[in-house]
Amino acid sequence: MDKIAGIPPLGEIWAKLDAICQNLWKEDRAAAVTLQAMIEEYRTEMAEADRLLVQSKTMLAEERETTERILAARHHEEIARLQERLKQTEEEVAGAKRRLDQEIIRNKELHELLEGKGRELEDFQDEALKREAEFHAKYLEKMRILCQEIYQEAMGRWPAAAGESAPHPNPPAGPSGLRPPAAPEAQRRALPQGEKEKEKNPNPEEKKTPGWRNVIKRWLLG
């Protein structure tokens, strides 16, 4: 297209040939006859060729302009589409960044919450261990007292129930370090017969239940 656009009009070339022919006539050269005949023979064809050349240049210029407009419009649409896509991508990136910041804040809050719960759990475990130790100590103390009461109850009832001699008025200390109570035989002898029976069995219902069971019941209810 650029080469065609650079071709000069054929009419100008033909005008230069005509000027050369006129100079040859002035010089009275024989070549002027041949050149003049050739110019006249092809003058019409050259004019038509010049017209076609001008028309081709015009058509090519119009086609070039049209092509440039089409390409400009196409590139404009492509650029607009890419700009819109870039805008959407920037919005998506901004939204993802906001969500990421929110997740970071939320994870930080959860981490702090877990640390607080961990400290609470440690405090709870310490308190549970402390209470367990206190309960175990109380349990051992109650068991010790229970064993002492059962021992004392058994030592008080065993001679009368088994028909054996009364225990020593000042018996030795038992395994727990406590001495069982002295036998109250002297007190029983001084009481009337009815008081003796009442003193032997103040509650007839308790006769059905051994003394150590009553002690356990009192310990559990207490």
CA distance 53 to 98: 66
Same domain? For 142 and 215 the reply is yes
- Please say which residue of 69, 87, 105 terminates a domain: 87
Please check whether residue 127 lies inside any domain of the structure.
Answer: no
Same domain? For 82 and 145 the reply is no
Same domain? For 217 and 142 the reply is yes
Confidence (pLDDT) at 42: 73
Q: How many CB atoms lie within 10 A of CB 35?
A: 17
Structural domain count of the chain = 2
Confidence (pLDDT) at 49: 78
Domain containing 17 equals 2-87
Confidence (pLDDT) at 35: 74
Same domain? For 146 and 214 the reply is yes
- Please say which residue of 67, 87, 107 terminates a domain: 87
Q: Is 146 exposed, middle or buried (0-12, 13-18, 19+ CB in 10 A)?
A: middle
Please check whether residue 142 lies inside any domain of the structure.
Answer: yes
Please check whether residue 13 lies inside any domain of the structure.
Answer: yes
Confidence (pLDDT) at 87: 92
Same domain? For 6 and 68 the reply is yes
Same domain? For 6 and 70 the reply is yes
Q: Is 163 left (phi over 0), alpha (psi -120 to 50) or beta?
A: left
Instruction: For the chain of 222 residues, list the mean pLDDT of each consecutive stretch of 10.
Output: 58 75 76 76 76 83 85 79 91 92 92 90 91 91 88 73 48 48 47 50 48 59 56
Same domain? For 78 and 7 the reply is yes
Whether the Cβ atoms of residue 211 and residue 154 lie closer than 8 Å to each other? yes
For the record, the structure tokens of 15 come out as 């005008």
Same domain? For 155 and 83 the reply is no
Write phi, then psi, for 60 (nearest 5 degrees).
Answer: -65, -40
Please check whether residue 66 lies inside any domain of the structure.
Answer: yes
Give whole-number Cα distances, 174 to 137, 159, 171, in Å: 22, 16, 9
Please check whether residue 120 lies inside any domain of the structure.
Answer: no
- The DSSP annotation for 132-200 comes to HHHHHHHHHHHHHHHHHHHHHHHHHHHHHHHT-PPPPSSPPP-TTS-PPPPP-HHHHHHS-HHHHHHHH
Please check whether residue 92 lies inside any domain of the structure.
Answer: no
Same domain? For 83 and 142 the reply is no
- Please say which residue of 63, 87, 111 terminates a domain: 87
Question: Running DSSP on this structure, what letter comes out for residue 8?
Answer: P
CA distance 108 to 22: 102
Please check whether residue 193 lies inside any domain of the structure.
Answer: yes
Confidence (pLDDT) at 88: 93
> Model pTM?
0.32
Confidence (pLDDT) at 92: 93
- The type of residue at 66 is T
Please check whether residue 109 lies inside any domain of the structure.
Answer: no
